Amino acid sequence: MRKLLCALALLCVGALAHAAIDTYDFDSEDQRQRFYRISSELRCPLCQNQNIADSNAPIATDLRGEVYRLLDEGRTDKEIVEHMVARYGEFVRYRPVLTVETMVLWFAPAVFLLAGFVILLVMVRRRQKALNNAQASELDEQERERLQALLEKKTRDD
Amino acid sequence: MRRLILLVPLVLFVAGTLFFYQTLRERQASEIRQSSIELPSPLIGKPLPAFELEDVKDAQRRITAADLKGPALVNVWATWCVACRVEHPVLNRLAEQGVVIYGINYKDDNASAQRWLRDLHDPYQINVSDPQGRLGLDLGVYGAPETFLIDADGIIRYKFIGVIDDRVWERELEPRYKALLEGGT
């Protein structure tokens, strides 16, 4: 019984945590999905490290309202994002468009990954080479027999 | 020599740390100067967005973008905005010096705004009432006070986010305002 109550209490907490999202009436499930997708792709201009879907700042609430209004007007997702960019700048895009300025943002991770692989490859190659050299310097059959003979002779002498 | 290669990541890390530290310091410095970090406005070089809204003092009067004749400051303010209270005396002083200032009363109610203007003096030539914040949204406002500088054709030339104080006026706004005045005549 107590467990059940705990579970119920936890469920309420979950509901509270979601209350940051305001209540909008959507014509269709599809529109609701689009609303969430667009608002999670727009950055809150004031908080800057949150999207407008997550932020509780008044400006984020206003922008969600604007997204809803534009959706209701029948604008496309692209048009809505452009609408915001025209007012708040490129900054509001969480996925920056590919321009000369944002090239570093887009390609730096790949470049770093590639550089890492190249370094790894070089290191592995070197180690293998060193290992091969070490193997090459090992004793051959004849030398091994001689060594064995020497060692045996030594133990006999002792 | 080969050992030195092992130091490359360390050097990169230290360089990165220094770079980010420096950037962070600069940002903090700019945050002290202004209420928030300034984002470049995409509206620079564009005309004021079209609107038709009430006058704060006279609900019968409709104001459009054409009524705001530049060169002028367009100041976005609200009575709930604490920083605006700090800025207000500076605007009063500028208005006395003859600087043209228009107000956009952002997400506020006219009664509070009228009381504010009566008690604290009214530096605005026209005050646009924007209770829903629709004009503010079109202007890309995200935190009052924000101030736009418009030229004689109503084109936005500059945007300042945060409190205008004497230093900001002298350094950022006055030279630009003066240039627009001289350019316009």
| Residues of chain B found within 8 Å of residue A88, distances taken between Cβ atoms | 39, 42, 140, 142
Q: Closest-CA residue in chain A for B5?
A: A119
- A82 → chain B, closest CA residue: B42
Same domain, B80 and B16: no
Task: Determine the pLDDT at residue B147.
Answer: 94
pLDDT, residue B57, reads 87
Range of the domain at B26: 2-33
Instruction: Give the model's pLDDT for residue B182.
Output: 86
Residue A114 structure tokens: 């590639």
pLDDT attached to residue A1: 63
Residues of A in Cβ contact (< 8 Å) with B140: 45, 87-89
Closest approach of A43 to chain B, Cα-based (Å): 12
What's the CATH code of the domain at B128?
3.40.30.10
Residue B46 has pLDDT above 70, yes or no: yes
B174 pLDDT more than 50: yes
Q: Which residue of B has its CA nearest to A84?
A: B140
**B45 located within any domain:** no
Mean pLDDT across chain B, nearest whole number? 87
B41 within some domain: no
Strand partners, B126: B102
Asked whether the predicted pLDDT for residue A21 surpasses 80, the reply is no
pLDDT computed for residue B185 by the predictor: 47
**How distant is the Cα of A11 from the closest Cα of chain B, in angstroms?**
34
Residues B21 and B102 both lie in one domain: no
* The predicted structure's pLDDT at residue B31: 54
Q: Which residue has the tokens 């051959």?
A: A140
Q: Which residues of B touch A48 (CB under 8 A)?
A: 37
- Looking at beta carbons, which residues of chain A come within 8 Å of B39? 45, 88-89, 91
For residues B25 and B60, membership in a common domain is answered with: no
How far apart are the C-alpha atoms of A60 and A46, rounded to whole Å? 8
Distance linking the first and last C-alpha atoms of chain B: 69
| pLDDT tens for each residue of B65-80 | 999 887 999 999 999 9
pLDDT of residue A123: 93
Predicted local distance difference test score (pLDDT) of residue B184: 56
Answer whether 0.90 is exceeded by the pTM. Answer: no
B123 pLDDT tier (thresholds 50, 70, 90) = very high
Residue ranges of chain B whose CB lies within 8 Å of a chain A CB: 36-37, 39-43, 107, 133, 137-140, 142-143
> Tens digits of per-residue pLDDT, A133-152?
877 777 778 888 888 899 98
The verdict on B160 and B125 lying in the same domain is yes
Q: Please list every residue in chain B whose beta carbon sits closer than 8 Å to the beta carbon of residue A46.
A: 36, 142-143
For residue B72, give how far its alpha carbon lies from the nearest alpha carbon of chain A (Å): 21
> How many structural domains does chain B have?
2
Residues B26 and B60 in one domain: no
Question: Out of A18-27, A79-88, A147-156, which region has the weakest mean confidence (pLDDT)?
Answer: A18-27
Q: How confident is the model at residue A45 (pLDDT cuts 50, 70, 90)?
A: confident
Same domain for B95 and B15: no
The alpha-carbon gap from B89 to the nearest alpha carbon of chain A, in Å, equals: 26
Q: Do A85 and B42 touch (CB under 8 A)?
A: yes
B102 lies in the same domain as B149: yes
In a domain, B77, yes or no: yes
How far does the CA of residue B98 sit from the closest CA of chain A (Å)?
A: 30
Question: Distance between CA atoms of B173 and B156, rounded to whole angstroms?
Answer: 13
Asked if residue B149 is part of any domain, the answer here is yes
Q: Does one domain contain both B14 and B57?
A: no
Residue A131's pLDDT band (cuts 50, 70, 90)? confident
Residue A17 clears pLDDT 90, i.e. is over it? no
Q: Is the ipTM of this complex over 0.85?
A: no
The confidence score (pLDDT) of residue B1 equals 66
More confident residue, B50 or A47: B50
Residues in B closer than 8 angstroms to A63, CB to CB, are 137
Strands (E), chain A: none
Report helix, strand or coil for B149: strand
- Tell me the pLDDT of chain A averaged across its residues: 82
Q: Do B137 and A89 touch (CB under 8 A)?
A: no
d(CA A137, CA A131): 10
Distance CA A90, CA A97 (A): 8
> Same domain, yes or no, for B29 and B61?
no
* Per-residue confidence (pLDDT) for residue B35, from 0 to 100: 45
- The per-residue DSSP string of B24-35 comes to HHHHHHHHHHSS
B176 and B147 in a common domain: yes
List CB contacts (< 8 A) between B133 and chain A.
62
Task: Please tell me which of the candidates B39, B107, B138 has its beta carbon nearest to residue A45.
Answer: B39
For residue B44, being part of any structural domain is answered with: no
Q: Quick one: B19 and B56 in the same domain? A: no
Query: Which of A48, A87, A89 is facing B40, going by the closest CB pair?
Result: A89
Does residue B46 form part of some domain?
Answer: no
Q: What is the DSSP string of B94-106?
A: HHHTT--EEEEEE
* B150 and B107 in a common domain: yes
